[in-house]
Structure formats: structure tokens, C-alpha cells
């Protein structure tokens, strides 16, 4: 199997991948508290694992290389629990903007920002909206638990989605970093309150308001890690990777934007660039 890790490749090997029109996966994640039982690297480690598995699955269709994980995410809402490193929106935007610029300058034109932290979602979408019209590349953003939501709903038992440090993330960490998971009291730390997922950020029917994670949990996790197992984690990791790989290998993902404008309307031509 060809090497998919950018950091392990030599410069000339990366130049060849650019010539071969390889897809670049740029993982974005966080370093933040994950309850009393998981390490702060959880989102970063899982994002790395999903990205490389997806790259290996997709390689038979087209080459894929995985850039180093951007661990410096938006985690202000986790600060009250300690152990969290966060950056400002301006810094996060600058980091992604500069990295995408570097990739394009190196000749890569199909880039997937693969996200493993919920707090990054809105900012990443805004960054792509801003950059896409300006760069010679197709930029795609995906959050793996959302892309694999259908498969995850069939695997998980106590929740229908990935929740922070709950059944899903704990299972996946058991599968890839089991020695870092404290399993001594999983049955006693579950947090299955009335708020789940991102609902603690809602106001009214469709409104949004910022809240710290203390709004929904007493100990920094959401869900029931007692339902976790390494076997379940392996299934979740593979399903997430397959979902991201399917996005990468779908030709429609990389189609050029269509221009449906005609000659003009009401007898006035459009100004076409």
C-alpha cells in the first residue's frame, strides 16, 4: 500500500502526487477535555485515524495524501473543564487559509477538509465560502460523524449520533488507543441529560445562542461510555472512513461549477468573467 502520510513522504514524492492529481485530506480537530476517561487528544487521534483509513480505501480509485492534523481548533466552550487548548476564530481562519494556500501553490487542486470536532463546523463552512471563489481548487468540507450518520445510527446502542466522549468516541479510542482509556468507572459517569448533541446551543425553534459545555454536562462528557467496546469502535472507525472515502471517490464531488446563465435577461447581457 502506498504511503498516505504527508509527513512521512519526501518532497519529490509529494511533487509527484501533485502531478498525479492526488486528493489532499486536511484533517482539522482539537485538543480538549473529553471527560474523566478519555485523553485530550481524542478528536485529533480519531481525525487522523479516519483520514488515513479513508485515504487507503480511496487509493484504488485515485491517489490520496493526508496532511498533518490541525489540532488547534475552536474549543472555547470546553474551557471550564480544564485541559483544553483553544484558538480564536481569527487564528483558526488564518491557519486554514495559509495551509490551503500552500497546498494550491504546490499544485494540489482537490482538497478535503475532514473535521472531527463539532466546534469547528460553522467556521470551516464560512472559510470555504470565502476561499473557494479565490483559489484554483475545489474545496470540500466534511465532518465524518455526520457523513456516516446512517451507519453510525445502526451501530450505536444508547445514542443515534456521536456525542462528546460518549459511547461512540470511547469505543473508537478503545480500538486505536486502548491504553489511554480509563475504563475503571464507565458505568458511573454517563451524562444522558435532556440536551443532546448540539441542542444545548438552540434558542426557540431555529435560533442559536452560544453556551459553554457546562450547559449540558456535569463532568465534561455527553452520552453513555459504559456501552463502549473496542469491537464497536473498529466498526465505527471503518464506517466513518468508508463514508469519507465514498465522498472522495465520487466524481460528482469534484465536478466544476456549472454556469446556467444564458445570454442575458430582458435584453441585457450578463457580464461573464
Q: Domain coordinates of the chain in residue numbers?
A: 6-253
For residue 136, pLDDT beyond 70: yes
Using 50, 70 and 90 to split pLDDT, how confident is the model at 231? very high
Residue 237 per-residue DSSP state: H
Using 50, 70 and 90 to split pLDDT, how confident is the model at 193? low
Higher pLDDT, 90 or 272: 90
Q: How far is CA 39 from CA 110, 158, 159, 170, 199, in A?
A: 32, 22, 21, 10, 24
The mean pLDDT value for 219-235 works out to: 96
Q: How far is CA 1 from CA 111, 139, 144, 263, in A?
A: 21, 26, 23, 50
Q: How is residue 148 written as a grid cell? A: 456516516
For residues 241 and 112, is the Cβ–Cβ distance under 8 A? Answer: no
Q: Which residues contact 173 (CB under 8 A, 6 or more apart)?
A: 38, 39, 42, 45, 46, 180, 181, 233
The mean pLDDT value for 139-164 works out to: 95
For residue 197, pLDDT beyond 70: no
For residue 157, pLDDT beyond 70: yes
Q: How is residue 38 written as a grid cell? A: 478519555
R_g over Cα of the chain: 20
For residue 71, pLDDT beyond 60: yes
Nearest to residue 92, comparing CAs of 135, 121, 49?
121
Using 50, 70 and 90 to split pLDDT, how confident is the model at 273? low
∠ CA 263-267-271 to the nearest 5 degrees?
50
The predicted structure's pLDDT at residue 176: 97
The predicted structure's pLDDT at residue 151: 97
The mean pLDDT value for 4-22 works out to: 98
User: What is the CATH number that goes with domain 6-253?
Assistant: 3.40.50.10310
Amino acid at each position: 500500500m502506498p504511503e498516505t502520510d504527508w509527513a512521512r513522504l519526501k518532497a519529490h514524492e509529494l511533487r509527484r502526487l501533485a502531478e498525479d492529481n492526488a486528493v489532499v485530506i486536511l484533517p482539522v480537530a482539537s485538543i480538549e477535555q473529553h471527560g474523566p476517561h478519555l485523553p485530550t487528544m481524542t478528536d485529533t487521534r480519531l481525525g487522523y485515524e479516519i483520514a488515513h483509513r479513508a485515504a487507503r480505501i480511496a487509493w484504488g480509485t485515485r491517489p490520496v495524501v493526508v496532511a498533518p492534523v490541525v489540532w488547534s481548533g475552536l474549543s472555547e466552550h470546553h474551557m471550564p473543564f480544564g485541559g483544553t487548548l483553544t484558538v480564536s476564530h481569527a487564528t483558526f481562519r488564518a491557519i486554514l487559509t495559509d495551509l490551503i494556500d500552500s497546498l494550491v501553490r504546490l499544485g494540489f487542486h482537490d482538497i478535503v477538509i475532514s473535521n472531527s470536532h463539532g466546534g469547528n463546523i460553522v467556521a470551516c463552512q464560512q472559510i470555504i465560502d470565502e476561499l473557494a471563489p479565490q483559489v484554483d481548487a475545489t474545496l470540500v468540507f466534511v465532518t465524518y460523524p455526520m457523513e456516516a450518520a446512517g451507519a453510525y445510527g445502526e451501530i450505536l446502542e444508547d445514542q443515534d449520533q456521536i456525542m462528546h466522549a460518549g459511547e461512540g468516541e470511547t469505543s473508537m479510542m478503545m480500538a486505536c488507543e486502548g491504553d489511554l482509556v480509563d475504563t475503571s468507572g464507565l458505568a458511573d459517569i454517563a451524562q444522558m441529560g435532556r440536551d443532546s448533541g448540539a441542542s444545548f446551543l438552540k434558542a426557540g425553534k431555529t435560533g442559536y445562542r452560544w453556551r459553554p459545555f457546562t450547559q449540558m454536562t456535569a463532568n465534561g462528557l455527553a452520552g453513555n461510555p459504559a456501552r463502549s467496546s473496542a469491537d464497536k469502535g473498529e466498526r465505527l472507525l471503518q464506517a466513518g472512513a468508508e463514508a469519507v472515502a465514498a465522498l472522495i471517490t465520487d466524481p460528482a464531488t469534484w465536478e466544476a461549477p456549472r454556469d446556467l446563465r444564458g445570454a442575458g435577461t430582458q435584453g441585457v447581457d450578463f457580464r461573464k468573467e
